[in-house]
Each structure stands twice: as C-alpha cells, then as structure tokens.
A and B are shown apart, each in its own frame.
Chain A
Amino acid sequence: MSGQEALFEYLLRLGDNTLILGHRLSEWCGHSPALEEDLALSNVALDLIGQTQLWLNLAGEIEGKGRDADKLAYLRDGRDFRNVLLVEQPNGDFAATMARQFYFDAWHYLLLRELTGSKEARIAEIAAKGLKEVTYHLERSQEWVLRLGDGTEESHRRMQTAIDDLWMYTGEMFESDAVDEAMVRDGIGPDPSSLHEPWLGLMRSTAEEATLTLPQPGWAQRGGKRGIHSEHLGYILADLQFLQRAYPNATW
C-alpha cells in the first residue's frame, strides 16, 4: 500500500466515523427526553457532519479521482465504509446513546489531540477545529454518564446495561493495522494503542464516580475499519443514500 493509499484509507476512517455517528445522532432530533436535549444532540450531530465534510473532501483530494465528500458519502456501498462498529450501533435508549457517545468522544478527543501535531498540515488543521468541538462533546456525554449512572435505580440499571453491551465494540478503536502503521511511519497519525491507557483511565475514573462497574477487557468485535460491518450499516446507507441512488446524476 502506498503512502497515498494509506492516507486515503485513514481519512475515510476519520470521515466515516463522524458521518455515521452524526447520522445516528440526527435520528434523535425531536425524540429526545427534553427540548434542551434536542438542541444539544443536534449540535453534536451538526459538528460531526461538518467534520465529515472536511475529512471526506480531503480524502477525495488525496485520492485524486474527482470524488468529493458527497460522492464518497452517498455513492459507496457498505463494504467500502471504514467507520468503527461502535458508531453504527443503534441508538437504543438514551443510556445506550450516551454510552456510545462517551466511549467514542473520549477516543475521538485523544485522537484529535494527537492529530493536531500531524505532519500533514491539512489534517492538523481539521483536527484543531474538531478538537474544540469534541472537547465539548466529551464534557457533555461524561456529564450524562454520571447523571444516569448515579441517578435513579432505573437509570443506573440502564446505564450499566449500556456500557456492558457496547464494551466489545471499543477494542477496535485501539487496534493497529497496516494503515495505522503507515500513518505512524509518516508522522501523520498516532499509534492507536497509545490512546488506550489514557482512554481507560478516563473510563475508570468516570465509571467510579458514576457508581458503574467497568466491564473487564474481553473479546473485541472488529472489522469496521476493513469494511466488515454489522447488519445495521446497510439500513443506515439505505436511508442516507436513497435520493442519490434513486435519482442518479441529479443535483440538489
């Protein structure tokens, strides 16, 4: 794999994560527990959609085949998507959404913080913009994990179930493959495993404060980064891509 090919893959991973999670969060709009939360979740989704445009446009540029963010988002099939499995998991109840968000935000924050020092200036720039947004996302999802974990009996039970259920999708974020290795080699991105300890530290301290029990390390579901997804992704794409597929070559 050439450096350019690896970089293209890497950018797809970044952009697909934000695309799919932004999509999931946008499903909440109008259905959340309070009006204030409708606004907040939409803001997070809007940030992620904005980051998607930046990452995927850059990916298209690197690829050099004339594809822009929209073409990449709307005209690839599931096997070509590179997001981690975590972000495509269904919203479930509010606890599941917040557990997914907290797991992701903490990792996303640590990753972007590293990427602000990337040798690839365009990546560093996008990461710097994204980091400001994600710092806030993390603050918010963490506050909710605390409230639901240490709230009522019911919320505690739901939150514990959520962190247990989603735990096996977190391992993939810290695993390294040829693409990651190429990024480390070229000084573009960090070794994913280097993010694991700080991530775990935040998980442990938050779980403790939230009176939750952090699951034990165990079997990790993997495949998203290589395009082997859960069944959920196909339905997301059916929704997301419907108009572009039904009316090819139309502009909107």
Chain B
Amino acid sequence: MTDKKEWPLWEVFIRSQHGLAHRHVGSLHAPDAEMAIMNARDVYTRRNEGVSIWVVRASDIAASSPSEKGPLFDPANSKVYRHPTFYEIPEELGHM
C-alpha cells in the first residue's frame, strides 16, 4: 500500500540547557511528529534529562543558504561507560 515510500526526513533541534536556544543537531527519519520527537531523544540525546526537542519536517524548511555548523552533544551523564575516561589506560601507552 505504501509502495517504496520511506518515512519522511525530519530536522532535529535541541535545547540542552536553560538559556541556550535550540540548535540543529542532525536529522532522522520518522513516520510522524510524535515518533520523530521520540526518535530524536533516542538518537541525539541518548536521553539526557531536561532537554527540549523540536522536530521539523525537512521539506517544510525554507532555506536561504546552507545551514550553519551544528553543535556537539554529550551522551547521557548516567552512562559513564560512554566516556573514554571511564577506562584506565596505562600512562606509558600515551594517548588512545
């Protein structure tokens, strides 16, 4: 019934802390706005608490020029094993 049609592309904007405006972090596919928001949370915040997420259908964006540089995003704080410093690497080995 939905022959070869893929889920639409959404652009994701996230406000990570109070006082900072929403910023573009990337895109994803989702069937509708609710799922897009949930997917954005799973894909782009690995579920940091207290974030605000906007999603906009990519096709609804009117653009004057190529987009600005996107921000980086920290993985969730409670998943310490995502951070390289969680692993002890002997000093004599230098950088890894």
Q: Do chains A and B touch in the complex (CB under 8 A)?
A: yes
Question: B38–A43 contact, CB under 8 A?
Answer: no
* Chain A: CB-nearest residue to B29: A36
Q: Could you say which of B30, B34, B47, B79 contacts A36, with CB atoms under 8 Å apart?
A: B30
Query: Considering residues A35, A36, A40, A50, which has the most beta carbons from chain B within 10 angstroms of its beta carbon?
Result: A36
From 33 to 56 in chain B, residues with beta carbon under 8 angstroms from any chain A beta carbon are 34-35, 38-39, 41-43, 46-47, 49
* Any B CB within 8 A of the CB of A235: no
Q: What residues of B have a CB within 8 angstroms of the CB of A136 in the complex?
A: 41, 47
* B-side contacts of A35, CB under 8 Å: 29
Q: Chain A binding site: helix, strand, loop or mixed by DSSP?
A: helix
The count of residues in chain A whose C-beta lies closer than 8 Å to any C-beta of chain B is 16
Partner of B78, one of A34, A36, A50, A140: A50
Which residues does chain B contribute within 8 Å of A143, judged by CB atoms?
34-35, 38
Q: Chain A residue with minimal CB distance to B30?
A: A36
* Beta-carbon nearest neighbor of B40 in chain A: A36
User: Which residues of B approach A to under 8 Å, CB–CB?
Assistant: 1, 7, 28-31, 34-35, 38-39, 41-43, 46-47, 49, 78-79
Q: Which A positions have Cβ atoms within 8 angstroms of B?
A: 34-36, 39-40, 43, 46, 50, 132-133, 136, 139-140, 143, 147, 152
Can you list 5 pairs linking A and B with CB atoms under 8 Å apart? A35-B29, A36-B28, A39-B43, A40-B42, A50-B78
